[in-house]
């Protein structure tokens, strides 16, 4: 595994050397760019509001569930409920628990979809600006210098400030 990783790094460096020898190469930290975009801050605020709404509804459902559960347990301990009533209540609690679980899953999916819907145009705007700046400066390749993206050495031209200017911030 370690040998394979070393081979992959050597291959990337070799290709990078070949590419840079033949063409102009630049890099940009796309994550840093996107986190500084005003649209991103607006999107994060929207997502946080949606998350808070889901959390509030979820907590209300859980509190209702816990309240009924405590009530039913007290009545069962006091012997005021019949066996048939206890079975009905047990089914009700199971169904209520399933609804809460389903709500949580649905809310998570909807939040993820909303995040994708909000981030896609922001990413496209960033991509367009990067392409415009790279073309204007004569770069043929622009690598993503975001930490963990696979870029090992970033000593070349950094387009972050130029792209920020292009986007107006």
pLDDT, tens digit only, all 169 positions of the chain: 555 566 556 556 666 655 545 568 899 999 999 999 999 999 999 999 999 999 999 999 999 999 999 988 888 777 777 888 888 988 999 999 999 999 999 999 999 999 999 999 999 999 999 999 999 999 988 888 888 777 656 677 888 888 888 888 8
Is 87 within a domain? yes
Is 12 within a domain? no
pLDDT at 79: 74
164, 34 Cβ separation under 8 angstroms: no
Distance CA 110, CA 114 (A): 6
Q: Is 30 exposed, middle or buried (0-12, 13-18, 19+ CB in 10 A)?
A: buried
Tally of structural domains, the chain: 1
Domain membership of residue 122 as a residue range: 23-167
pLDDT at 107: 96
Distance CA 37, CA 60 (A): 35
Q: What is the pLDDT of residues 109-138, one digit of tens each?
A: 999 999 999 999 999 999 999 999 999 999
Rg, C-alpha atoms of the chain: 27
Is 3 within a domain? no
Is 108 within a domain? yes
Could you tell me the two tokens for 102? 């389903």
pLDDT at 17: 59
Is 5 within a domain? no
Is 6 within a domain? no
pLDDT at 67: 95
């Amino acid at each position: 595994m370690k040998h394979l990783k070393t081979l992959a790094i050597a291959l990337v460096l070799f290709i990078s050397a070949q590419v840079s020898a033949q063409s102009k190469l630049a890099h940009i930290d796309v994550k840093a760019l996107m986190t500084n975009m005003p649209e991103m801050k607006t999107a994060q605020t929207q997502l946080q509001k949606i998350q808070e709404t889901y959390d509030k509804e979820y907590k209300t459902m859980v509190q209702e569930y816990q309240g009924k559960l405590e009530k039913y347990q007290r009545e069962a301990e006091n012997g005021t409920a019949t066996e048939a009533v206890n079975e009905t209540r047990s089914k009700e609690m199971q169904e209520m628990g399933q609804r809460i679980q389903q709500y949580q899953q649905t809310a998570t999916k909807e939040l993820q979809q909303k995040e994708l819907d909000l981030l896609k145009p922001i990413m496209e705007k960033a991509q367009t600006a990067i392409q415009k700046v790279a073309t204007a400066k004569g770069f043929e390749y622009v690598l993503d210098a975001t930490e963990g993206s696979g870029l090992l050495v970033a000593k070349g031209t950094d387009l972050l400030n130029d792209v920020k200017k292009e986007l107006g911030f």
